[in-house]
Structure 1
Amino acid sequence: MNYWLFKSEPDTWSWDAQVAKGDVGEEWNGVRNYQARNNMRAMKIGDRGFFYHSNIGKEVVGIVEVCRESAPDSTTEDPRWDCVWIRAIKPLTRHITLDEAKVTPGLEQMVLVNNTRLSVQPVSPAEWEIICLMGGVEPY
């Protein structure tokens, strides 16, 4: 299993909106960055990810799971853009802010800490465990 982080502006697509989609999940569309697209192309069903509220809050708020592998993005006819589908698994008991992540030992190399603009990014197994434990959930 691989781990990821999905960033969304909560006034555009929030954790609550993701949860409301239930087990069907939602297409993670609209990504127009090659590195983020390539990250989605590498994802497999069952991979886990953090759901991160960007701009407002700047915090990890929940855990999602990839429920459909990369396929053409339905919001464009441009064949360069793909996306996965994700579904909400559980909220973090305690949200983890970007400021907190920046000062937490073991997260110094985390992409979120060093490249806050990348909308879909990898998370190492060690980083996954640290954030989960800080957030009050089992890292499974």
Structure 2
Amino acid sequence: MAKHYWLFKAEPHIYGIEHLAAAPNKIGRWDGIRNYQARNFLRDQVALNDEVFIYHSSCKHVGIVGTAKVVNTAYPDPTQFNPESDYYDPKSTAENPRWVSVDIQLTKVFPRIISLAEIKAQPLLENMVLVKQSRLSTQPVTADEWKVILSLLK
């Protein structure tokens, strides 16, 4: 099976790369996704060992801050069942959960942020989902886009 590449958006004040770096074995649960298209990617396409860009959004310095890999595929997001969680969904049940999580393991913290402006300035990235559909929290990245973004660190 071919490896896939993804970009996962995080609000660093809620769960950013620093939280993932501090987690046991640098593994964390990617939860709280409440967009059906993003959920479908997580549920139906994200696979074990897929590689992930961690993207900080809704902050002063938005951009890609590092990489991770998928270490556990889709399972019911426990936050949907917790009435005290911001991600609680009263219509979701254990028998029919609406939302899923995956577990990811940090693989690299970048020495600098690759900013959205820098990404948009790259002609080879003009068709990237991030550029075309910027609000999607879980999105595919092509193998070529992955290579171009990594080359920006050099």
- Is the contact made by 2:54 and 2:67 (CA closer than 8 Å) also made in structure 1? yes
- Is the contact made by 1:45 and 1:68 (CA closer than 8 Å) also made in structure 2? yes
- Is the contact made by 1:94 and 1:134 (CA closer than 8 Å) also made in structure 2? no
1:123 and 1:65 map into 2 onto residues whose CA distance is 14
By how many angstroms is 1:92 displaced? 1.9
Question: Residue 76 of structure 2 is aligned with which of 61, 64, 72?
Answer: 72
- Superimposed CA distance per residue, residues 60-116 of structure 1 (whole angstroms, 9 cap, x where no aligned partner): 000011010001001113211111111110012332100111110210010111111
| Percent of paired sites with the same residue | 41
- Is the contact made by 2:20 and 2:26 (CA closer than 8 Å) also made in structure 1? no
- Ranges in structure 1 where 5+ consecutive residues have no aligned partner: none
Dislocated runs of 4+, deviation >3 Å: none
Report 1:59-138 matches (<5 A): 59-77=63-81, 78=92, 79-136=97-154
- Is the contact made by 1:4 and 1:49 (CA closer than 8 Å) also made in structure 2? yes
Matching residue's letter, 1:81: W
- Is the contact made by 1:71 and 1:82 (CA closer than 8 Å) also made in structure 2? yes
1:135 and 1:24 map into 2 onto residues whose CA distance is 22
Matching residue's letter, 1:108: E
Name 1:47's counterpart in structure 2.
Answer: 50
Name 1:16's counterpart in structure 2.
Answer: 18
- Is the contact made by 2:7 and 2:52 (CA closer than 8 Å) also made in structure 1? yes
- Is the contact made by 2:129 and 2:139 (CA closer than 8 Å) also made in structure 1? yes
Task: Select between 16-25 and 26-35 the one with higher mean Cα deviation.
Answer: 16-25
**3-state DSSP of counterpart to 1:93:** strand
- Structure with max Cα Rg: 2
RMSD: 1.2
Would you tell me which structure has more helix in proportion to its own residues?
Answer: 2
TM-score by length of 1: 0.92
1:103 and 1:69 map into 2 onto residues whose CA distance is 33
2:30 and 2:142 map into 1 onto residues whose CA distance is 21
By how many angstroms is 1:24 displaced? 5.6
**3-state DSSP of counterpart to 1:46:** coil
Matching residue's letter, 1:92: F
